[in-house]
Amino acid sequence: MAGNCNSRSLVAVLSLFVLCSSFDVIPVAEAIWFTIPSSGTKCVSEEIQNNVVVLADYYIINEDQPQHAPTISVKVTSPYGNNLHHNENVTHGQFAFTTSEAGNYLACFWLDNHQQQAGTTTMSLDWRIGIAAKDWDSVARKEKIEGVELDLTRLEGAVQAIHTNLIYLKEREAEMREVSEKTNARVAWFSIMSLGVCIAVSGLQLWHLKRYFQKKKLI
């Protein structure tokens, strides 16, 4: 009986793995390409929750003359403006950190002053967070797992990441709902106050007109 339950559990887990793989639930890191203007800054941002590992690799793409690729400067800041990474006069590099604040993390790139030229410069950025930033080869060597077991471990990490993200979104939704309710309450009180002021002003105007007409003996 216990053997049948274990078999059914294994089949259910494997089915879940196949289903998640089919719909790309497991996050896959992909590099993005973008252009840096000759006299400006290009920034990329992403909203990340607290206590998440972030890894990134960046490099200039210059297929025509790779040995004469322009150099860039890079600056990465946290939502509260803390400097997490700063590099100058480079054609490639990487940065890694664990978030200590929840919010938008900003990575800005610009050409160095002496390297500014006409047109734009293309670069690649491989930005990985959370489960996508984990080195699964090291995990496999350390825990001596491979094949389906490694895939199930990776799937478990993806499920935990999704669960953590859902909790974060739930907390953000609760915060936004609280702010919305406070705003609605303030608007309601402001409307009541405005209505009260309008009624008071109307009453004062009627009283003033009545006294004016009485003084003029019109009423």
Whole-number CA gyration radius for the chain:
30
For 45-86, write each residue's pLDDT tens digit: 988 888 888 889 998 887 566 567 788 899 999 999 899 999
In this structure, which amino acid lies at residue 36? I
How much is the mean pLDDT over the chain?
78
Give the pLDDT confidence score for residue 217 in this predicted structure: 74
Amino acid at 140: A
Query: How many CB atoms neighbour CB 214 within 10 A?
Result: 10
How confident is the model at residue 62, as a pLDDT? 72
Instruction: Give the model's pLDDT for residue 119.
Output: 59
Domain ranges of the chain: 33-138, 146-218
If you average pLDDT over residues 117-129, what whole number do you get?
Answer: 78
- φ, ψ of residue 187 to 5 degrees: the values are -65, -40
pLDDT at 13: 45
Distances (CA, A) of 86 to 8, 33, 107, 121: 52, 20, 10, 19
Q: Is the pLDDT of residue 141 over 90?
A: no
CA atoms within 13 A of residue 207's CA, in its CB half-sphere: 6
Give pTM, 2 decimals: 0.59
- Using CA atoms, how far apart are residues 103 and 106, in angstroms rounded to an integer? 10
pLDDT over threshold 80, residue 115 = no
The CATH number assigned to the domain with range 33-138 reads 2.60.120.380
